[in-house]
Amino acid sequence: MTNVLVLWDIDGTLLAAGQDNAPHSRAIEEVVSGTEVEEFATDGMTDAQGATLHLDRAGLDEDLLPAVLERLDIHSHVYLTSGPLTALPGVNEALNFVASLGATNALLTGNTPARAINKLRGAGIDTELIAWEDSFFGGNAKSREVVTHRARDRFPERRIVVIGDTPLDGQAANEAGLDFLGVTTGLYGAEDLTGAGAFLVIEDLVSGLDELGEALS
Ligand SMILES: [Mg+2]
């Protein structure tokens, strides 16, 4: 049995990516009425990082960030009702499998806790399989590195494996001395993730389950 802490990314790793329709522009437009903000991809960024970049590109003041983050949180309730998100194939099975190895399933995400919980519930992922108290949330963090360092500082001796779909997941993991396992269910391919320091890249959580198990043993 293993005492590994597995820290899962959410978008593109547990959930199909890109289903969240223009959350930043909607949030900013509610804070500053009359503005129109163009949405762009923020894969791998924290909520604060993505929102700040949207404010910058729209020529708006970064001081608006707390209000924008609050609107993002408020809107995450829609994941539960009108537009349920889709879990990627094999997610609940993979979480059960990892737990059966004696490892702990937790999250390392750029989302706030509210957004993370609502996304997982909306996608039908069994939230009982997640150790929320051992999870790390970077909704307010400037970058993902801040969050991976928090994980390292809290569990200095423990083997920690970050599972994610973007080079930013890999860079942040390695920067803090955490292992990075890449999965190509987001926007990036195996070369991108290996280049970002992945010790293993799997195609998805169904075909890659055995390799994932071996990597955690
Ligand atoms: Mg992701």
Q: Give the separation between CA 145 and CA 131, rounded to whole angstroms.
A: 21
Q: Ligand 1: distance of its center to the CA of 16 in Å?
A: 9
At 217 the pLDDT is: 86
At 2 the pLDDT is: 62
Residues 6+ apart with CB under 8 A from 89: 204, 205, 206
Q: Give the separation between CA 213 and CA 200, rounded to whole angstroms.
A: 12
> What's the longest Cα–Cα distance across the chain?
57
At 156 the pLDDT is: 95
Q: Ligand 1: distance of its center to the CA of 32 in Å?
A: 28
Q: Ligand 1: distance of its center to the CA of 34 in Å?
A: 31
Q: Whole-prediction pTM value?
A: 0.94
Please state the φ and ψ torsions of residue 61, each to the nearest 5 degrees. -75, 130
Q: Ligand 1: distance of its center to the CA of 13 in Å?
A: 6
Distance spanning both ends of the chain, measured CA to CA: 7
**Mean pLDDT, 10 residues at a time, over the chain (217 residues)?**
88 86 90 92 92 96 97 90 85 97 97 94 94 96 96 97 97 98 96 98 98 95
At 83 the pLDDT is: 67
At 109 the pLDDT is: 97
Q: Ligand 1: distance of its center to the CA of 100 in Å?
A: 24
Q: Ligand 1: distance of its center to the CA of 187 in Å?
A: 9
Domains of the chain: 5-17+86-216 (3.40.50.1000), 23-80 (no CATH)
